[in-house]
Amino acid sequence: MNTTLHAVVIAVYVLLLTVVALRARAATVFADFSVARRALPLALVFGSLAATYVGPVFSIGFVGKGFTSGFLFWGIGLAYAAQNILVGLFIAPRLRALGNCHTLGDAVGQKYDRTCQILAGVISVGVCAGLAAVMAKAGGDVLRNIFLLPHWSAVVIVVGITTLYTTFGGLKASVVTDAFQFTSFAVLLPAALIWILLSHPNPGGITFTKAIATTTMAGFKSTSPMQIVGLLTAFLLGETLIPPYANRALASKTTAVSRNSFILAGLFSIAWFAVMIALGIAGRTVILGDPPEDNVLMILIESTIPRFGYTLLLVVLISVIMSSLDSLLNAGAVVFTQDIVKPFAKLSDNAALNLGRCATIAIAATACAGAVAVKSIVSGLLVCYTIWAPAILPALIIGLWVKRPHPLAGILSMGVGTIVAIVFEFVYHSAIGIPTIIPALGAGLLAYALGHWMEKTKFGA
């Protein structure tokens, strides 16, 4: 009976989502598919940004971290909130002000040269595929727990449904469905916390307050200062203008919409992280033993929420995952078309649109295959952060602020940052006592300085 109820509610939700996506209309030109004709208003950009970043990491993952380390991770999450606000104040308006940009690689190409654009495109597609694999793994976990399916088939179902509306609708369908999904989980998950605290006999005010103190102290004791520095660095820089966020900055109606959307998204994340951490701490007073972090939220709502409410929350969790996954699929496809193929081949608008749709399917298939390699949601996210920040940010941020940046500096920074991050993360991870993102960022900045000096002094000639 429970399984039947879950199936009916999820089927109705998917049908509603399909109707919303169809109302947004299929993309008919590449400008629709990539940047929604640069006409998105504040409400849609803000809702889509929030829906994209919330994802399974900032919901399922943060509940698990609240369960094990209390409000330690809320403090770390504040670095992410600060990043959004800083991007809104200083970077997103400059990005939006660039003309004829579909991607972050376009911006890099305008500031440096075509080689830098291609390199930025390759890095962006790789990171989008990696993050999509994390989302696919999380979606498979939720659907497997509901219907007791094999994990691979649950992954294929979640990714397949998301790919369907993203392939034909492009960015506008992604943004509109994200805004629809945002309204559901922004209401229902905080409502679940209130229900648990008020109606369930065990957290109670005193027990919950004690759990806050004990879990947070345990979190600080089990995390070294250097690990905290690494996590703060990762959350401050790791998602800065990843391709889905850059696409929303570029698709905003005006520079003011771009700026205000990121600022509002940053402010919302402060409250969202607090709610997720509080749910995890409440779970500490309800759940016996120490389940895997990624299972805490599922176990908690199943143990405390009435059956129909539990089913609704399962739908919310799926929508959280789909809203992040569709953004990554669309952004990766646009980047592949605009930054990797177009520099080598002159494409008609219709050919670019069809290639973007094919790329969406290809990245979705890659995410399905990669989902099996993801150990946990948060660890998978941190690996992508570790590669993205050193690879892209030094060249991007300096390029947006310097009047005439040198192409060699951009190429060296992106190449060295990527290689150092991959080598230290996957080959010599245990050989250094500090988080990989820190030496990789340092290497990227030094490589940029070297390239700048070489071109300025004509040494490169």
- 127 pLDDT more than 60: yes
pLDDT band, very low/low/confident/very high, at 430 (cuts 50, 70, 90): low
* Cβ atoms 364, 332 nearer than 8 A: no
Q: Which residues contact 227 (CB under 8 A, 6 or more apart)?
A: 435
Mean pLDDT of the region 37-43: 85
Average pLDDT of the chain, as a whole number: 87
**Percent of the chain surpassing pLDDT 70:** 92
Q: Where residue 460 falls among pLDDT bands split at 50, 70, 90?
A: very low
CA distance 368 to 104: 25
pLDDT for res 324: 85
pLDDT at 322 over 90: no
Q: What is the residue extent of each domain of the chain?
A: 2-374
- Min mean pLDDT across 172-176, 242-246, 273-277, 344-348 is at 172-176
Query: Please, which pLDDT band fits residue 428 given cuts at 50, 70 and 90?
Result: confident
How high is the pLDDT of residue 186? Answer: 83
3-state SS of 415-459 is: HHHHHHHHHHHHCCHHHCCCCCHHHHHHHHHHHHHHHHHHHHCCC
- Amino acid 356 reads G
pLDDT in the model for residue 208: 84
Reported as a single tens digit per residue, the pLDDT across 5-28 is 667 777 777 677 666 655 655 566
Q: Report, as an integer, the average pLDDT of 421-450.
A: 87
What per-residue confidence (pLDDT) applies to 2? 63
Q: What is the CA radius of gyration of the chain?
A: 22
Question: Can you read off the two tokens belonging to residue 134?
Answer: 């994390």
Whether residue 427 is predicted with pLDDT greater than 90 in this model: the reply is no
Q: Which of 132-141, 324-333, 409-418 has the highest mean pLDDT?
A: 409-418
pLDDT digits (tens, 9 = 90+) for 437-450: 999 999 999 999 99
CATH topology of domain 2-374: Sodium/glucose cotransporter (1.20.1730)
The pLDDT value given to residue 443? 96
pLDDT band at residue 100, thresholds of 50, 70 and 90?
confident
Whether 228 shows a pLDDT value over 70: the answer reads yes
Other CB atoms closer than 10 Å to residue 457's CB: what's the count?
9
Q: pTM here?
A: 0.88
Q: For residue 272, what pLDDT band results from cuts at 50, 70 and 90?
A: very high
